[in-house]
Amino acid sequence: MRPHSGTPDIRTNLSMSPKVLLAGNTETVPELAATLQALNYSPVASAEDLKDLAGLLRKSGADTLVASMTSIGSTDLDALVNMQRESPVTTILHLEQADSATLRDLAAEGIGSLVVGVIQASRLPLLLDIADARLRQLLQMRTQIADLKSTLQERKLVDRAKGLIMGSGKYSEEQAYHALRKLAMNQNRTMADIAEGVISSPELFN
């Protein structure tokens, strides 16, 4: 990722520059490479296609992908989508031509900056900022979704444990909840942990 706006840039040489994987087969690639170097990016690998995208990113340690291609086939598209889902990086994708179905697929995956037609190397700073902002947004959204799923799972465990406790006939729903909460506080554990214990050994409340 690029530094946040307003963050001092302490990079003084290419060894401290963001590493970029430059891919593509268009006449624009050399100009893009020169512009990236002028922006203090360090091209660490290059490829004509994206078939081994995951491997190239892993081996090169690149945290940015700039690809300029005539078009994108199913193999390259699958590689790009898999990267975006598993280990996304700041991405600029330039396609000289693309059909509407491909554009919909790319947009649905949240590809950072997508340019169709002519790309101007002078616009790279803006495109990189957009791509980086979208990556941050994507990662934040995934974290929020993961947290929500975890919360829902914990709630299901607690509700199930409450049901087992209430099944003894000795506790109301409120009493069952407070019993779980008290155990969690006394043992310095989460209610989900306590609930799992109750589910495993419901006889504790019989």
DSSP letters along 43-85, please?
A: EEEEESSSTTHHHHHHHHT-SEEEEEES---HHHHHHHHHHHH
Give the integer Cα–Cα distance in Å for 43 and 54: 16
- The reply to whether the predicted model has a pTM over 0.95 is no
pLDDT single digits (tens) 142-192? 889 989 999 999 999 999 999 988 888 888 999 989 989 998 999 999 999
CA 5 to chain centre: 20
pLDDT single digits (tens) 64-105? 999 999 988 888 888 888 888 888 889 999 999 988 888 888
Residue 206 pLDDT = 67
CA 3 to chain centre: 17
What would the two tokens of residue 87 be? 């280990």
Name all domains of the chain by residue range, CATH numbers in brackets. 14-119 (3.40.50.2300), 144-205 (1.10.10.10)
Q: What is the mean pLDDT of the chain?
A: 84
Q: At 50, phi and psi to the nearest 5?
A: -110, 15
**Are residues 69 and 97 in contact, defined by beta-carbon separation less than 8 angstroms?**
no
**Are residues 72 and 48 in contact, defined by beta-carbon separation less than 8 angstroms?**
no
Residue 168 pLDDT = 80
What would the two tokens of residue 101 be? 């179905």
pLDDT single digits (tens) 122-148? 888 899 899 888 888 888 988 899 899
Residue 73 pLDDT = 87
H runs (alpha helix) in the chain:
29-38, 53-60, 74-86, 100-108, 124-166, 173-187, 191-200
Residue 12 pLDDT = 37
**Are residues 22 and 60 in contact, defined by beta-carbon separation less than 8 angstroms?**
no
Residue of 72, 62, 61 lying closest to 94 (CA atoms): 72
What would the two tokens of residue 64 be? 């940015």
Residue of 81, 97, 91 lying closest to 112 (CA atoms): 91
Residue of 69, 111, 117 lying closest to 90 (CA atoms): 111
